[in-house]
Amino acid sequence: MNRGGTPSGTGAHEPLLGSVVVPAHQEAGRIGVLVRSLREGWRPGELDVVVVSNGSTDGTAEAAEAAAADAGLDLRVLDLEAPGKAAALKAGDQVTRSPRLYLDADVRCSATTARALLRAVGDGRADVAVPRRVLDLSGCTRAARMYHCAWAGLPWVEEQLAGRGAYCLSERAGQLLARFPAVMADDRLATTLVPSERAVVLPDPVVVTPPRNLREVLVVRRRVYFANQALERDHGVRAHERSATSRVGGVVTLLREPGGWPGLVLWAGVTAVAKVQALAAGRRGGTVPWRVVERAVGPAAGVASVSVVVVSYRSSRTLGDCLQSISAQQTTAEVHVVVVDNASDDGSVDVAREAPPGVRVIRRGVNDGFGRGCTVGVEGEASDLILFCNPDVVLDAGCVDHLVQEMARRPEVGVVGGRQRSGDGGDAPRSWWRRPSWWSLVCFATGVSSRFPRSRLLDPEEGGAWDGSSRDVDLVSGGLMLVRRRAWSDLGGFDPDILLYGEDVDLCLRARAAGWGVRVCGAAAFVHDVGASTRSGSTGEVAQDAGAAVALRLQLVLRGRATVLRRHLGWPAVRLVEAGVALRSLVAPLFPSGDGARRTTGREAWAVAWRTRRAWRRGWREGDDLDAVIAEAAAAARQPSGVTTGAAK
């Protein structure tokens, strides 16, 4: 859809020099910076600027129009329904004329620089022109600064034409490029196809905001190398070769600079990891998510919208308090609450409907798990952020605002968890934890993780001592989890085959693998009655027997854990879990009391888990009936005559 008017060169002003095409996907928070930067040196009529918003749901098109109006610039906006940079470039070409300057939406380029680039190819001096790259390192961490300084100091980086966020093509070069199919590395393709003698680097600058921490750096470099490999493999297009002398000379030059060694080592390490990951993705036929790292959350106005999704199943006892705590939040965000009820028969729907106004209730006729219920709740919501909240959670004052602000401060983060508190006001265990590894499973199998709880070495999955400050982590609890909409879409949401326990771990692991950060926000506190949903969702007899309820929950937790381990580490990892369960079923009282689940999980519960290992070690599978699984686990949990209190993990 064309949202603009006529090309800016049709007025009775300066003669039209050429066109500027800006593809933009989900760039509401940044497009205004580029538009306003064009105001420097602007002459009405010289430039025909077209912003092509493609598949944006965050108000990118509107933000571009508002910024142009504020800056007094005449530009056009195309609003395409489907995302895709190649399609956006093509759409921009169809409504403009050569020469054309292509700008990334996250750079700052003055009209003076744009004019110089267009004139360089318009007067026949070159077929491709690129600007001088200036890095804005003001928001970068120290490590990222070291990397960027080392990278930018390499002679071949300064010489290469791609990776500058801008390139200008003559009509002849544009026709050459049009003969190629859509590729990810469009700037590299364009600057490689043109002979080097027909290319020019101008001193006029474009300001580029590079990744601001090493995680972002790795994400960006991995996608660059993946795209370059695909370009070479599928189209036979290779970059201009650099001689060994040039490579060695570049390294020597860098080492002569003060502090050159640390930066060079950091650059080499990141480059090696990114290339290996890109190569592995290409060989297995996978993809690397082709997205820019966001710098802002929500629409240009700065107000985030949050959909709070609560999935209930026989949650009438706790749901009311949960919804009241959400309603009581004083927040600047626009909050929508959705309750998805999975076929409860205890009046949960009535509790939801009696909640404060504005709660949308979805009543389903099937209980098919937490993750699938969450997916139903997200459908139909267009919020920037999604907050998944268990029905047995009560939020502290300001919790939602703290989560949203943490997400806004760290745009590379896709998942944020809160600080879990116990009912007595103290910190509960496992607000966050570390990813499972072969070492952590060996520690579990041998019992040392329970013998030395919260030891960084011998209980490696536990978070250990925490001062409550916000920090990057591996995993956060799904009891209260804020997810960025872009990350949710990139990852495809929760795995629908994980019906209960483990969907949060799986999502966090996939998020980190895709380049999204995971973070815990210490200021966002909440109380979680862990296991209340499982107790309420089982039979009355189990719910009344605390020991049997623990045994029931343990079976379901182990089933979810087996699913995650099979998918991320392989079936031998599950065998190590079995060994640990067997050990605890025999000697659980020998372990110290621990905390949380360890304090209440005794020998009898582990004995039940050992007897039912054939059921849970297979994990969740497609077609599993959650109610049938719970009924079978509950029956097994009722068999022991008592529960021996002991600590175990």
pLDDT higher than threshold 60 for residue 531: no
Q: Is 367 left (phi over 0), alpha (psi -120 to 50) or beta?
A: beta
* pLDDT for 648: 37
> What is the pLDDT confidence band of residue 211, given thresholds at 50, 70 and 90?
confident
* pLDDT for 560: 95
Task: Give the residue-averaged pLDDT of 319-329.
Answer: 94
pLDDT higher than threshold 90 for residue 304: no
314 contacts 370 by C-beta, under 8 angstroms: no
Q: Which residue has the higher pLDDT, 56 or 233?
A: 56
Q: Tokens 């801008």 label which residue?
A: 166
> What is the pLDDT confidence band of residue 245, given thresholds at 50, 70 and 90?
very low
As a whole number of Å, the end-to-end CA separation of the chain is: 57
CA distance 542 to 1: 59
**Least confident residue range of 65-74, 199-208, 335-344, 529-538:** 529-538
Residue closest to 533 by CA, chosen among 500, 505, 493, 496? 500
> What is the pLDDT confidence band of residue 615, given thresholds at 50, 70 and 90?
very high
Instruction: Give 402's Cβ-side CA count (13 Å radius).
Output: 21
Residue closest to 20 by CA, chosen among 103, 88, 110? 103
**β-bridge partners, 342:** 364
pLDDT higher than threshold 80 for residue 164: yes
**Least confident residue range of 171-175, 224-228, 348-352, 569-573:** 224-228
Q: Which residue has the higher pLDDT, 592 or 561?
A: 561
* pLDDT for 466: 78
Q: Which residue has the higher pLDDT, 309 or 547?
A: 309
> What is the pLDDT confidence band of residue 641, given thresholds at 50, 70 and 90?
very low
pLDDT higher than threshold 90 for residue 592: no
- Residue 587: phi and psi, rounded to 5, are -130, 25
- The secondary structure of residue 140, as a DSSP letter, is -
> What is the pLDDT confidence band of residue 163, given thresholds at 50, 70 and 90?
confident
Does the global pTM surpass 0.85?
A: no
Q: Which residue has the higher pLDDT, 143 or 583?
A: 583
> What is the pLDDT confidence band of residue 70, given thresholds at 50, 70 and 90?
confident
DSSP-assigned letters across all residues of 452-475 = STT-TTTSTTB-----S--EE-SE
> What is the pLDDT confidence band of residue 539, given thresholds at 50, 70 and 90?
very low
Q: Tokens 């680039």 label which residue?
A: 117
338 contacts 307 by C-beta, under 8 angstroms: yes
CA distance 621 to 619: 6
pLDDT higher than threshold 90 for residue 583: yes
Residue burial 264-288, b: 16+ Cβ < 10 Å; e: rest: bebbeebbeebbebbeebbeeeeeb
pLDDT higher than threshold 90 for residue 177: no
Q: Tokens 């620089």 label which residue?
A: 113
CA distance 545 to 606: 16
DSSP-assigned letters across all residues of 473-499 = -SEE-TTEEEEEHHHHHHHTSS-TT--
Report cis status (omega within 30 of 0) of the bond before 211: no
- Residue 369: phi and psi, rounded to 5, are 105, 165
And the tokens for 305? 């919208």
* pLDDT for 6: 47
And the tokens for 289? 């998510």
Neighbours of 354 (CB within 10 A): 12
Task: Give the residue-averaged pLDDT of 365-386.
Answer: 91
* pLDDT for 298: 36
> What is the pLDDT confidence band of residue 260, given thresholds at 50, 70 and 90?
low
Helical pair 186-193 and 171-178, crossing angle rounded to 10 deg: 120
* pLDDT for 290: 42
Angle at 348 between CA 342 and CA 351, to 5 degrees: 140
- Residue 242: phi and psi, rounded to 5, are -105, 135
Amino acid at 521: C
DSSP three-state, residue 142: helix
CA distance 484 to 499: 22
Residues 6+ apart with CB under 8 A from 226: 184, 278, 281, 282, 287, 288
Residue closest to 132 by CA, chosen among 91, 160, 95? 160
pLDDT higher than threshold 90 for residue 299: no
CA distance 437 to 453: 17
Task: Give the residue-averaged pLDDT of 49-57.
Answer: 90
Question: How long is the chain?
Answer: 649
pLDDT higher than threshold 90 for residue 475: yes
Task: Give the residue-averaged pLDDT of 233-242.
Answer: 53
Residue burial 507-543, b: 16+ Cβ < 10 Å; e: rest: bbbbbbebbbbbbbbbbbbbbbbbbbbbbbbbbeebb
* pLDDT for 292: 38
* pLDDT for 303: 62
* pLDDT for 557: 95
Among 22-26, 43-47, 229-233, 413-417, top mean pLDDT goes to 413-417
* pLDDT for 86: 79
pLDDT higher than threshold 50 for residue 294: no
Tell me what percent of the residues of the chain surpass a pLDDT of 70: 79
Neighbours of 589 (CB within 10 A): 13
Torsional sign, CA 548, 554, 555, 557: positive
**β-bridge partners, 50:** 21, 76
* pLDDT for 115: 94
Among 10-24, 208-222, 341-355, 524-538, top mean pLDDT goes to 341-355
Domains of the chain: 305-431+466-533 (3.90.550.10), 538-637 (no CATH)
Among 63-67, 370-374, 528-532, 535-539, top mean pLDDT goes to 370-374
Q: Which residue has the higher pLDDT, 472 or 265?
A: 472
Residue closest to 615 by CA, chosen among 571, 565, 561, 555? 555
Angle at 584 between CA 582 and CA 589, to 5 degrees: 150
> What is the pLDDT confidence band of residue 620, given thresholds at 50, 70 and 90?
very high
pLDDT higher than threshold 70 for residue 454: yes
Sheet harboring 47-54: ordered strands across?
75-80, 47-54, 18-24, 100-103, 166-169, 128-135, 199-208, 107-108
For 240, the enclosing helix (H) or strand (E) is none
pLDDT higher than threshold 50 for residue 492: yes
* pLDDT for 102: 93
Distances 17 to 48, 119, 130, 205 between C-alpha atoms, Å: 8, 7, 16, 19
* pLDDT for 270: 85
Torsional sign, CA 372, 500, 463, 547: positive
- The secondary structure of residue 641, as a DSSP letter, is S
* pLDDT for 338: 95
Task: Give the residue-averaged pLDDT of 373-383.
Answer: 89
Residue closest to 148 by CA, chosen among 216, 245, 241, 246? 216
